[in-house]
Amino acid sequence: MRAVVVSEWGGPEVLTETEIERPEPGLNEILVRVHAAGVNPVDWKTRATGGLIAWGEVPIVGWDVSGTVEAVGPGVTLYAPGDEVYGMPSFPRQAGGYAEYVVGPARHFARKPASLDHAEAAALPLAALTAWQALVDTAGVSSGQRVLIHAAAGGVGHFAVQIAKALGAYVIGTASEAKHGLLRELGADELIDYRSADFAEAVSDLDVVIDSIGGDNGKHSLKVLKPGGHLVTLPSPDDVPADATGVHTGWTLVEPDYRGLVQIAALVEEGKLRPVIDTVLPLSEAAKAHEIGERGRTTGKIVLTVA
């Protein structure tokens, strides 16, 4: 099969298209013919250094996939060959999404939303699950709460805006002014241009803050939380403020989640959630996709078409 492998840790130029052996599904696993693969910051960060990922013999980045079940291993009852699925298999272990086929546990996938094509569905899993698990499982957002989402037009951010709105929250987002129109379409109630205003002076008494920026942003965000509020940090555990008192703080790392994928698909079918696609490129241009992503100026997601 075709795959884009990491020849050595480094810049985008180390991504090399080659032919490798197709994997086979084991117990409780499915083999998926990949139609499209999502591109995420974790892809280029681990490509650069290897990160903390447990790599296979041939390093292949990529976790977001959407495709068709090619074969099922012993014990699988959820799917049959021909079923369309999407998912984030094996994270944070290697999945190998930048390839024509990928193997993973059956319950790391769910049925693809019928209203989306494969490129749109491949944009969902990692970023939408991150937003879902941060808002629902970690912060327990409920109707009427006030939620601030940093980098609201980014990959995780634009899903978090929509999910928080679907949960009935009052949604505030930080983003450059040029992206405010899109975010209003996605459901944001209030927007702050981080280039011209300090969010800590613009809002207060919030229930939840989702921080996908890191650095000092989390510490600054403590100023806007009400007592008992939640600050959910996404980039690194090192970005969690050490001196927080009276509020809940913590780092969350996304996990494969069949239940979450099913819920996300349901929101899509209900018209409450949609992926925003910034760029679509063929698998052979994975290096270009990483170059674009590393500039940090994308709105929504980057996707590679494979099949």
Which among 267, 275, 274, 268 has a CA at the least distance from the CA of 298?
275
**Is pLDDT above 80 for 165?**
yes
Q: What is the mean pLDDT of residues 164-180?
A: 98
Alpha-carbon torsion angle 188, 261, 254, 274, nearest 10: -30
pLDDT at 102: 98
- Worst-scoring range by mean pLDDT, 49-63, 72-86, 178-192? 49-63
**Is pLDDT above 90 for 51?**
no
For the chain, percent of residues with pLDDT exceeding 70: 100
Contact 202, 192 (CB under 8 A): yes
Contact 170, 147 (CB under 8 A): yes
Asked if 2-124+275-305 and 127-251 have one fold, the answer is: no
* Domain 2-124+275-305 bears CATH identifier 3.90.180.10: yes
* Domain 127-251 bears CATH identifier 3.40.50.720: yes
**Cα(205)–Cα(213) distance, integer angstroms:** 21
Give the domain ranges of the chain: 2-124+275-305, 127-251
pLDDT at 303: 98
Beta-strand runs (E) in the chain: 2-6, 15-19, 29-39, 65-72, 84-87, 101-105, 109-111, 146-149, 170-174, 190-192, 206-211, 225-233, 248-251, 277-282, 301-305
**Is pLDDT above 90 for 213?**
yes
Q: What is the mean pLDDT of residues 146-162?
A: 97
**Is pLDDT above 80 for 54?**
no
pLDDT at 40: 96
Residue with tokens 């059956």: 106
Q: What is the mean pLDDT of residues 173-179?
A: 97
Q: What is the mean pLDDT of residues 13-31?
A: 97
For the chain, percent of residues with pLDDT exceeding 90: 95
**Cα(10)–Cα(13) distance, integer angstroms:** 8
118-146 confidence digits (pLDDT tens): 999 999 999 999 999 999 999 999 999 99
**Is pLDDT above 90 for 52?**
no
